Amino acid sequence: MFLNKLAHSGLITIDYVKNGALQTFKGRVHKLNLRDQIISLKDENQNFFTIRLSGIRNVY
């Protein structure tokens, strides 16, 4: 799966939809949970953030 490859590639930018609005996140993959369909990310300030895989629109 392409998300497993991204988990090892370092810094990524994700465009995703949250509450009907398109948002952008830049950080590193912390954990990928395929069972619950979520990805946990860590930004440059070491803050954790969770995104549902169904909300992801683009990955750079």
What tens digit of pLDDT does each residue of 19-39 get? 999 999 999 988 889 899 999
- Please tell me the predicted confidence (pLDDT) of residue 38: 93
Tokens 């930018």, residue located:
13
Structure-model confidence comparison of residues 31 and 6, the more confident one: 31
Find the mean pLDDT for residues 33-58.
Answer: 92
Query: At 59, which helix (H) or strand (E)?
Result: strand 56-59
SS (H, E, C) 14-50: EEEEECCEEEEEEEEEEEEECCCCEEEEECCCCCEEE
Q: What is the pTM of this model?
A: 0.78
Report the alpha-carbon distance of residue 21 to residue 39 in Å, rounded.
19
Using the predicted structure, report yes or no on whether residue 1 has a pLDDT greater than 60. no
Tokens 């398109």, residue located:
22
- Please tell me the predicted confidence (pLDDT) of residue 10: 79
- Domain 2-59 carries which CATH code? 2.30.30.520
